[in-house]
Structure 1
Amino acid sequence: MPQPTHSIGVSAPVLDLSRFEPSNRRRLSAPALRTFLAIADLWGLNEEQRRLMLGYPSRSTFHNWCKQAREHGSITLDVDALTRISAVLGIHQALAMLFSEERDGVAWLRQPHDACVFGSRSPLTLAANGTQDGLMTVRRFLDAARGGLYMPPTAAEADFAPYEDDEILFQ
């Protein structure tokens, strides 16, 4: 399929629509939901928070999804639910990169934060507000922190003294 071009002749990327096909979503849904549930357990999320993060499916739908996923059955989540799970996976991954101890990452997620985007509430409050935007905002904040923005150094980093030139050895 030819890619559309801008007026200056540069090719624009084309979204691969095949990743949204039911067969692909079916393949990803159960493993994604099992991973989401494991992270939700780690973060200590209650049922309401889990449902909010998934787009607030009905209780019966949520429990059916969980049963099917745990039994390695076949479910097909919609694009919104899979996008939300992807955001949770990204948050979990970023916390693992930013904090050497898992419990410290979970504590950060649950504690009030002074960054404007959190309004002195915990990042978890924003992530579990029921909107995809809330999840994506927390994920973007952590991605920026991984890049060195927004977060003050951890206790371990605060005491780090930069290496001197004579301490760097090349082999």
Structure 2
Amino acid sequence: MLDVTRFAPANRKRLSAPALRTFLAIADLWGLNEEQRRLVLGYPSRSTYHNWARQAREHGSITLDVDALTRLSAILGIHQALGVLFESEAEGVEWLTDPHDAPIFGGQPPMALVTGGTLDGLLTVRRFLDAARGGLYMPPNAIDTDFAPLADAEIVWR
């Protein structure tokens, strides 16, 4: 059964400012311009975006809608996955901004989906990275290139 209390205004109000503050820090790290930030958030008007940002930075009170909070959740998940998959933030940003050969990206950088303005684009990148965290789709990184799996004889049973 769906827990509708998570969509209640009081819960959205509790989550909105901290989520938006975190997004603004991630957007700075990723080098997103204002237009890209607005696209990620569902393209609010400039004045609405600036009001939200000001309120969040001043630890004020804002209540974002479910769509905006879902988009922010996707960004937080992408950022977290990049932190797990890459040794440095710079490597994660490089992955986001370089063209990618995976069919889902069509040779475009994953950032093109992130800043394309659709929730589907955000969730596609998030799901791709979640799959990579689970060991699917991405080539091994340098630490894994010489890894040899254990042979049955090497496994010790007690």
TM-score range, shorter chain: over 0.9
Residue in 2 that maps onto 1:116: 103
Q: Deviations over 1:12-42 (max 9, x none)?
A: xx11001111111011100000000111111
Structure 1 stretches (4+) deviating beyond 2 angstroms?
159-170
RMSD of Structure 2 on Structure 1 (CA): 1.7
Distance 1:42 1:157 in 2: 27
CA distance in structure 2 between the partners assigned to 1:167 and 1:98 by the alignment = 28
Matched, 1:74 2:31: no
Q: CA deviation at 1:154?
A: 1.2
Residues 88-129 of structure 1 deviation map (CA, whole Å, 9 limit, x = unaligned):
000011111111211111110110000111010000101110
Identity of aligned residues (%): 73
1:62 to 49, 62, 79: 49
CA–CA separation in structure 2 for the residues paired with 1:157 and 1:51: 38
Query: Which residue does 1:3 correspond to in 2?
Result: none
Q: 1:154 aligns with which of 129, 137, 141?
A: 141
Matched, 1:126 2:113: yes
Cα 1:46–1:169, aligned 2, differ >3 Å: closer, same or farther?
A: farther
Unaligned 5+ segments in structure 2 are none
| Runs (5+) with no aligned partner, structure 1 | 1-13
Helix, strand or coil for the counterpart of 1:57? Answer: coil
Q: Which amino acid aligns with 2:53?
A: C
* Higher RCO structure (Cα 8 Å, ≥6 apart): 2
What is the CA-CA distance between 1:164 and the residue it aligns to? 6.6
Q: Name the aligned partner's letter for residue 59 of structure 2.
A: H
What is the identity, as a one-letter code, of the residue corresponding to 1:100? E
| 3-state SS in 2 of match to 1:41 | helix
- Shift in Å, 1:162: 4.0
CA-CA distance at 1:157 after TM superposition? 1.7
The 3-state SS of whatever aligns with 1:149 is coil
| 1:73 Cα deviation after fit | 0.4
- Amino acid of the residue matched to residue 158 of structure 1? T
- Provide, for residues 121-164 of structure 1, a one-character-per-residue CA deviation record: whole Å limited to 9, x for no partner: 00010111000000000000001111111111112221334457
Aligned length: 158
Larger deviation, residues 154-163 vs 24-33: 154-163
> Hey, which of these two has a bigger chunk of helix by percent?
2
What is the one-letter code of the residue matched to 2:103?
C
